[in-house]
Amino acid sequence: MRKNSPTVPGLEVEDERDLEAERRRLCGLIDRFAAAGPAGCTTHPHSFFGRLTPQEWSAWMYKHLDHHLRQFGA
């Protein structure tokens, strides 16, 4: 993906959020994703990459989350 690619329609956050509540929510989602293992990965195709294996989903989630954490200096 190229730098500054647009966000998929419907995924942009346009209202005010409580950062601490969102941090706790994200931590819970990461824990749930990790605990579910390969069987917990979706079988739905990714909107850009298409069908992914559980290993591809986990690598993609790591890279995507790492990108955004770095983006915001977290």
Cβ(38)–Cβ(54) below 8 Å: yes
- 3-state SS track over the chain: CCCCCCCCCCCCCCCCCCHHHHHHHHHHHHHHHHHHCHHHCCCCCECCCECCCHHHHHHHHHHHHHHHHHHCCC
What is the number of structural domains in the chain? 1
Asked whether the predicted pLDDT for residue 60 surpasses 80, the reply is yes
pLDDT over 70 at 31, yes or no = yes
Lowest mean pLDDT among 6-10, 18-22, 69-73: 6-10
pLDDT single digits (tens) 34-55: 899 888 888 889 888 899 999 8
Show the domain range for 50: 46-73
- Distance between CA atoms of residues 6 and 52, nearest Å: 21
- Classify residue 15: in a domain, yes or no: no
| pTM more than 0.75 | no
